[in-house]
Amino acid sequence: MDTKSKLNIGGLNFEWNLEKGQFLFEGEDAVLFWISSAMKTLFDTIEEISGEEATNLVLETTGFRQGLVVGEYFRNMKSVSVFEAAELITNTYASAGWGKISIRDLNPENRTLVTQLKDSWEYKINLAQGKKTGGNFVPAHYAGIFTGLFGTNIWYKVIQHQIEGYEYSVVEYFPSNINVAQNIHQLARKKEAEQIQQLEGLVEEKTKELQDLVKALSSPIIPVLEGIVVVPLLGRYDNDRAEDLIVNTLNNLPKYKAKYLLLDLTGLDKDITEYTASVIEKLGSAASLIGTETLLVGISAELSLIISQTDINLSSFDSFQTLQHGIYYALGQSGRRII
């Protein structure tokens, strides 16, 4: 069995050395893969891990950068014109299994051209994947090639993809400010924006949960004895908290058949505002309209002094230093007592 072999096809050299496990294409190490199985698995795996959008950008960027190396190589061959390089490239890529490519309307002065791609390896992989749209590795690869050849950034526009039912793909190439670095940057910014949006959504959700919890804790109604309920006032009250307090309390007083509502002021901010005092007055007055008498409890000397300095008059409500005193008073008014 021969362990070494050489072939020259279309002026291009292929060599095998089985002892070294080596395959050479034009004197360079190369590898061979089955397109519809091994390469398809590679593409599927990348897309599964990275997602379709990121995968497309990875393939486009890789294709462009590989092509750039090829283009710069031919550009450094001073004796070869752009037209000659284009012909060498098409023959080389055809022999390497990249499919049939025809270059039309090549204009080195304007740095424009049109390619026709038929049966490229990327098309075959996409076909095996069951995709309905073509990939961008091969189109971007030729953009990289001619960027290297022309010495200026070339980008592309796919006019038609073979996988969409056409006989071949048609791609236009032209000078452009678009480049793979910008595309990478844009995708990164897009991913950041998506992450920020997700975080904002999470923060909004957690904020709502916290607000709901605050509402539940801000105006709890505690039935202590028959006909007597206690509502502890906690912290500082703004419009939203005040509205929740008043609505929740008034809606639940009939439920408990409350004759006495004890507003416990122990947990209020020491720096009580005139607004908070007005809330207390409003709640007590509203409760009296539905037959519930309001008592203020938990009033320290310090708190009484602060309240007296506001323009709100709470003297219409009976006030007690402790919750216990308020409960005893309510019981006594009802003709009951604790034994």
Residue 190 has pLDDT above 60, yes or no: no
Per-residue pLDDT of 248-282, as tens digits, reads: 899 989 998 999 999 998 888 776 778 888 888 99
C-alpha 64/C-alpha 145 separation (Å) is: 7
Measured distance CA(328)–CA(324) in Å, rounded: 6
pLDDT band at 76 (very low <50, low <70, confident <90, very high): confident
- Whether the pLDDT of residue 162 is over 90: the answer is yes
Give the domain 34-178 fold: Muramoyl-pentapeptide Carboxypeptidase; domain 2 (3.30.1380)
Over residues 136-146, the pLDDT tens digits come to 999 999 999 99
Which CATH code fits 219-333? 3.30.750.24
Q: What average pLDDT does the segment 228-234 reach?
A: 89
Q: Domain ranges in the chain?
A: 1-32, 34-178, 219-333
Given this model, what pLDDT does residue 157 score? 93
Query: 7-47: per-residue pLDDT in tens?
Result: 888 788 889 998 889 989 888 898 888 988 998 998 899 88
Residue 314: which pLDDT band, with cuts at 50, 70 and 90?
confident
Domain 34-178 matches domain 219-333 at the CATH topology level: no
Query: Of 130 and 309, which is predicted with more confidence?
Result: 130
Averaged pLDDT, 296-319: 82
